[in-house]
Amino acid sequence: MTRKAKKAARPEPAVTVRGLENRFGANLLHDGLDLEVLPGEVLGVVGSSGSGKTVLMRSIIGLNRPRTGEVSVLGENLSALQGRQRKALLARIGVLFQNGALFSGLTVAENIALVLKLHTGLAPGPIDRLARQKIDMAGLPQDTAGKMPAQLSGGMRTRAGLARALALDPEIVFLDEPTAGLDPIGAADFDRLIRELQQSLGLTVFMVTHDLNSLVAIADRIAVLVDRKIRVGPLDELLNDPHPWIQAYFRGPRARAAHDAAGSGH
């Protein structure tokens, strides 16, 4: 195969970020940030508190307008789209916000059904069946469908939020701190669920997290926000990055515990 053919065979990134700048007053979060998310990968995004992990995610999905830079999702510039075109692209994206972010006045099934009503012309019967299918996909018992968010544990709310994120069979899913507040067993179960869904559905996963165990368990590559830029690579490469924060994060006591747990199969 020629070099030209190899280049042509390279898959289009699921997400492309070029020259991103985010500034809030005098606080410069991102300064010319570049990033590519590959189709079908689980990308873990980490950084110190205040480094702008969630702001980066919100910039990609169109909830934050960056000062400068370009963002492409699934080959489309979301900020340039309007009306039906924008709605069509958003239907290909699923988002799990921190703690599930469910509507408190709706049941779990109604939370999922709302997304289906907004984006499809389906009748109530098929919508209800699809909502229950997504509940099952998220690993929740069917009796969860009629429960209110306040009746659920933290782990169940996260899974219910995931079920809503999967409502439209998206190609890419954005997760914001999905294991925050979960006990170690619940967090490990959620990690396994994400990996199973990614493999069975061919999902691309963009996961903002601080959970080292999640990174070791399921991330194909890790993006680290440091010095207002981003460094991306598999864990083995980042372990050799001399940046002080990266060394402290990936070689500290908690990191060694995460490696040991992964090595023992836990």
Residues 199 and 151 in one domain: no
Query: What is the predicted pLDDT for the residue at 254?
Result: 60
The answer, yes or no, to whether residue 253 has pLDDT greater than 70, is no
- pLDDT tens digits, 158-207: 999 999 999 999 999 999 999 988 888 999 999 999 999 999 999 999 99
Do 44 and 221 meet the contact criterion of CB atoms below 8 Å apart? yes
The answer, yes or no, to whether residue 259 has pLDDT greater than 60, is no
* CA-to-CA dists, residue 128 to 43, 133, 134, 206, angstroms: 32, 9, 10, 28
Long-range contacts of 261-266, Cβ-Cβ distance < 8 Å, separation of 24 or more: 261/213, 261/216, 262/213, 262/216, 262/217, 266/188
The answer, yes or no, to whether residue 88 has pLDDT greater than 60, is yes
0.85 exceeded by pTM: yes
Query: What is the predicted pLDDT for the residue at 266?
Result: 43
Domain for residue 186, yes or no?
no
Query: What is the predicted pLDDT for the residue at 180?
Result: 87
Query: What is the predicted pLDDT for the residue at 206?
Result: 97
Domain for residue 6, yes or no?
no
Query: What is the predicted pLDDT for the residue at 99?
Result: 77
Distance of CA 115 to the CA centre of its chain: 18
- pLDDT tens digits, 114-167: 999 989 889 999 999 999 999 999 999 999 999 999 999 989 999 999 999 999
- pLDDT tens digits, 207-217: 999 899 999 99
CATH number at residue 224: 3.40.50.300
The residue among 82, 78, 87, 28 whose CA lies nearest residue 57 is 78
Domain for residue 2, yes or no?
no
Per the structure, how many domains does the chain have? 2
Question: What mean pLDDT comes out for the span 40-53?
Answer: 92
Residues 262 and 200 in one domain: yes
% pLDDT > 90, the chain: 68
Domain residues for the domain of 232 are: 11-92+171-178+192-266
Residues 6+ apart with CB under 8 A from 246: 224, 226, 231, 238
Domain for residue 3, yes or no?
no
Query: What is the predicted pLDDT for the residue at 265?
Result: 47
The answer, yes or no, to whether residue 1 has pLDDT greater than 50, is no
Domain for residue 220, yes or no?
yes
Domain for residue 146, yes or no?
yes
Domain for residue 252, yes or no?
yes
| Order of all β-strands in the sheet with 93-96 | 93-96, 172-176, 204-208, 42-47, 221-226, 229-233
Residues 209 and 139 in one domain: no
Residues 196 and 217 in one domain: yes
Residues 81 and 116 in one domain: no
% pLDDT > 70, the chain: 91
Domain for residue 250, yes or no?
yes
The answer, yes or no, to whether residue 4 has pLDDT greater than 60, is no
Residues 204 and 150 in one domain: no
Query: What is the predicted pLDDT for the residue at 121?
Result: 86
Q: What's the per-residue H, E or C state across 100-158?
A: CCCCCCCCHHHHHHHHHHHHCCCCHHHHHHHHHHHHHHCCCCHHHHHCCHHHCCHHHHH
Do 26 and 178 meet the contact criterion of CB atoms below 8 Å apart? no
pLDDT-based confidence at 9, cuts 50/70/90?
low
Residues 196 and 69 in one domain: yes
More confident residue, 43 or 4: 43
Average pLDDT over the chain reads 89
What does the alpha-carbon distance between residue 215 and residue 175 come to, in Å, rounded to a whole number? Answer: 13
Do 107 and 148 meet the contact criterion of CB atoms below 8 Å apart? yes
Question: What mean pLDDT comes out for the span 48-67?
Answer: 90
Question: What mean pLDDT comes out for the span 16-43?
Answer: 93
Residues 62 and 110 in one domain: no
The answer, yes or no, to whether residue 77 has pLDDT greater than 90, is no
Residues 153 and 29 in one domain: no
Residues 43 and 15 in one domain: yes
